[in-house]
Structure 1
Amino acid sequence: MKGLILAAGRGSRLLPVSATRPKHTVNVAGVPIIVRAVRALREAGAEDIGIVTSSSSETELRDVTLGSGHLTFIRQPEALGTGHAVLCAREFLEGQDTLLYLGDNLFEDSLRPVRAALGEADAVIGVKQVPDPQLFGVAVVEGGLLRGLVEKPSQPAGNLAACGVFAFRPGVLDAVAALEPSVRGEIEFPQALLSVIAAGGRVRAVEFGGFWSDAGTPGDLLRANAHYLSQLTPCMDGTLENSELSGLVVVEPGARVQNSRVTGPVWIGPHAVLRDSEVGPYTSVGRHALLSHTRIQGSMVDDFARVHAPTRLLERSIIGRHAVVGAPSDVGLQLVIGDRSVARL
């Protein structure tokens, strides 16, 4: 079975974080989203993995996946939808069964049940119960079989959201190739499943029970970061100087914690420096980042960021790579700023 990750989109809902890089490269608890996708596919048994990229995203996706084993990068020349992206990979798929992963999704559960369900079906769709189905593509499922799909219905027929993972046999590609563009002008892969059903085929639905996020908005990203931080194994591989750690804390090699208090769950990346600060809970601090005289919680600080906020509490904030934050006053503050931004508040 081949693995295929769709990662050509930049993610407009995640702006400004995604303004200067693909959203799939954003770190969640210290691991890029795209790397988590690769790991999930490999754990499910898909060793030969392709990644569909745009011309602007390929270089950075290659960089962040170094060390993830052999990967094949496939260019999608235009943003014409998920179905079009799959067709761009047709030569790579070589007529084999495929485990398809929409690259901005994050799963706690293994993808193995999706692969296994393909043994008795033409295709498989992953679904998840959600409290707000009107925000998602809603799957209509009867007896474990997909019967319909409705995109963001105003009156949902159920609460099962299509959650960004599929498996399909080679013949499904013919159904994708036969699709007409949607009202958005895109070829939508999930619509091919309805064509399979209409032709008498079987599409199984596999329900996920654990954590799932499409990491599509800053709030989604922060919730995913908090979840994965709580799954870490504590370790202290850096340097601790006159500081206090409590709870689940990971201090990576080369990191220094000086005159600070850290309340887990917290991840402190390699060569990061915390100085005279209070950090956590539910906070990640990227590689080579510097926090000085800062109080921060429930937030994400990316690689090489610089934060000096002596009197304000930073919370529910996302601070991009190489960003600089200075906050000298004493009022609570929330920030979502992109890479290489400068905020002086």
Structure 2
Amino acid sequence: MKGLILAAGRGSRLLPISATRAKHAVPVAGVPIIARAVQSLRDAGIHDIGIVCSPSSETDLRDATQHSGHLTFIRQREALGTGHAVLSARAFLEREPTLLYLGDNLFEDRLTPLIGTLRDADAVIGVKQVPNPQAYGVAVVKNGRLLRLVEKPRKPESNLAACGVFSFRPALLEYVQDLLPSDRGEIEFPQALGALMAAGGQVRAVEFTGFWSDAGAPDDLLSANLHFLSHLQPRIEGRVDRSVVSGTVVIEAGAAVEDSVITGPVWIGPHALVRGATIGPGVSIGAHARVDSARVHATLIDDFARILHPTQPIVRSLIGRHALVTAPSDTGLQMVIGDRSVMRM
């Protein structure tokens, strides 16, 4: 079986974080989203994995997966939808069964059931009970069989969201090939499941019970960050001086913590510096970042960011690479706010 991860989308809901790199390369608890996707497939026993990327995102994704073993990168030259992305990988799939993973998803559950269930079906879809199904593609399921998918219905028939992972036999690609563009002008892969069922094919549903997030918006990303931080194994390889460290805390090699209070779950990346700060819970601090005289809670701080003497606590925030957060000058606030940024004062 082949594994295929779709990661060509830029991620408009994560702007401006995603303005300078693919959203799939953003770290969650210190590990890029795309690397977690690759690991999920490997944990399911799949080792021949392709990643569909855009020409602009390929370098980011290669860098983010440099420690993930051999991968095949496939370019989708135009953003024409998930179905088009799958067809872009047709030569790689070589008419083998496929486990398809939409690359901004994060799962706690193993994906192995999608492989086993495919033995008795033409395709399999992963679903998850959610409190707000109207925000998702909703799966209507009876006795384990998918009856239909409805995109963001006003009155959902079920509380099962389609959660971005599928397995299918090679024949499904013929139905993808025949799809017409949707109202958004895209070839939508899930529509092929409806065409398959209309022709008499059987699509089964596998329900996940553990944590799931599509990590496509800031709140989703922060929730995922907290979840994976909470599952870390405590480990201190960096230097800790005159500080109090409690709870689940990882301090990577080369990092330094001085005169601070760290309350887990917290991850502090390689060569980061934390000085005179109160950190946690629910904070990840990227490699080479610096946090000085700050109070930080439930926040994702990316590589090389600098948090220097802010006058207010930083709570539930995303702070991108090389960003600077600091105190106002004597003349007042200075702001350099890019497109689609958010600031609450």
TM-score range, shorter chain: over 0.9
Match of 2:140 in 1: 140
Match in the other structure for 1:152 = 152
Q: Secondary structure at the match of 1:281?
A: coil
1:144-190: CA deviations, max 9, x gaps? 00000000001111100000000000000001001111111111000
* Residues 89/3 of structure 1: CA separation in 2 closer, same or farther (3 Å cut): same
Match of 2:314 in 1: 314
Distance in 2, matches of 1:177 and 1:68, equals 31
Unaligned runs of 5+ in 1: 330-334
Aligned to 2:88: 88
> 1:12 corresponds to which residue?
12
SS at match of 1:51: strand
In the alignment, structure 1 residue 118 sits paired with structure 2 residue 118: yes
- Letter in structure 1 aligned against 2:111: L
Measure the CA separation in 2 of the matches of 1:140 and 1:222: 29
What pairs with 1:166-315 in structure 2 (closer than 5 Å)? 166-315=166-315
Alpha-carbon offset, residue 310 of structure 1:
4.3
Residues of 2 paired with 1:289 and 1:230: CA distance? 21
Deviation at 1:44, TM superposition (A): 0.5
CA shift digits 1:19-41 (9 cap, x unpaired): 11100000000000000000000
Structure 2 CA distance for partners of 1:116 and 1:338, relative to 1, 3 Å: farther
One-letter amino acid matched to 1:25: A
Q: Matched residue pairs, number?
A: 336
Alpha-carbon distance change, 328 to 259 in structure 1, aligned in 2, over 3 angstroms: farther
Partners of 2:310 and 2:325 within 8 A in 1: no
Contact preservation (8 Å) 1:126, 1:162: yes
Please give the secondary structure, in 2, of the residue aligned with 1:223: helix
1:133/1:107 Cα in 2 relative to 1: closer, same or farther (>3 Å)? Answer: same
TM-score normalized by the length of structure 2: 0.95
TM-score by length of 1: 0.95
- Tell me if structure 2 keeps the 8 A contact 1:17–1:338: no
Indicate the SS of the match to 1:184.
coil
Find the counterpart in structure 2 of residue 98 from structure 1.
98
Q: Which runs of 4+ in 1 moved over 4 A?
A: none
Identity %: 66
CA distance in structure 1 between the partners assigned to 2:82 and 2:308 by the alignment: 42
Structure 2 unaligned residues grouped into runs of 5+? 330-334
Residue by residue over 1:189-219, the C-alpha shift from the partner in whole angstroms, topping out at 9 and shown as x without a partner, is: 0010111111111101000000000001100
* SS, match of residue 95 in structure 1: coil
Shift of the alpha carbon at 1:67?
Answer: 1.4
Kept in 2: contact 1:109–1:210 (CA 8 A): yes
- The structural deviation recorded for 1:338 is 7.7
SS of equivalent to 2:200: coil
Contact 1:320 1:338 in 2 (8 A): no
* Cα drift, residue 15 of structure 1: 1.1
Post-superposition Cα deviations, 1:61-107, rounded to whole Å, max 9, x if no partner, equal 11111111110000001110000000000000000000000000000
Which amino acid letter does the alignment assign opposite residue 60 of structure 1?
D
